[in-house]
Amino acid sequence: MPKHAEKRVLAYQPEQIFDLVADVARYPEFLPWCASAQVRSRTATELVADLTVGFGPFRESFTSRVTLDRPTYITVRYERGPFRYLKNIWKFTPDPKGCLVEFYVDFEFRSKILQAAIGVVFGEAVRLMVSAFIKRAKDIYGAPQALPLPKEP
């Protein structure tokens, strides 16, 4: 049952990082393990997407329902595929230096072989994913800028 929780302050606005994470259809353009992403339906507050991910020789597809609470939360609920369960939460909080991003993922594959294989590379896969989102923010929004200091009362 790989789990990962991480907090990072990024020099971007919460809305910018929220929009980047919510743009699931573009994941194959920048996430190294994402082979395809198809958004089945989307409203302002929810989307349903099919993703295909690849880890070495393994390739699996799954469906998720994603709740969008712009610009604060993104919650992923697993619906169908190779997992026993998948929990994924993103939280975006304004910070004097930009945006505090909190990321949590917990999952378990049904296949013990797949679970064992991902367990070996899970830490590296998460690091690559976080780095890919940061690089994507730079590509889309430009290099992080010094943000204005909050005004004194």
CA dist 67 and 74 (Å) reads: 6
CA dist 126 and 151 (Å) reads: 37
Number of domains in the chain: 1
CA dist 142 and 145 (Å) reads: 8
- On whether the CB atoms of residues 136 and 41 are closer than 8 A, the answer is no
Helices (H), the chain: 14-22, 27-30, 112-141
Instruction: Check which CATH number belongs to the domain holding 29 and give it.
Output: 3.30.530.20
pLDDT of residue 114: 78
pLDDT of residue 122: 76
Instruction: Kindly state whether residue 68 falls inside one of the protein's structural domains.
Output: yes
CA dist 50 and 38 (Å) reads: 5
Instruction: Kindly state whether residue 11 falls inside one of the protein's structural domains.
Output: yes
Residue 90's domain comprises: 3-141
Instruction: Kindly state whether residue 152 falls inside one of the protein's structural domains.
Output: no
pLDDT of residue 84: 92
pLDDT (tens digit, 0 to 9) for every residue of the chain, 153 residues total? 668 899 999 999 999 999 999 999 999 999 988 999 999 999 999 999 999 988 777 788 999 999 999 999 999 999 999 989 999 999 999 999 999 999 999 988 888 887 787 776 777 778 888 899 999 999 999 988 655 545 555
* Torsion angles phi and psi, residue 45, rounded to 5: -115, -5
Instruction: Kindly state whether residue 134 falls inside one of the protein's structural domains.
Output: yes
**pTM for this entry:** 0.87
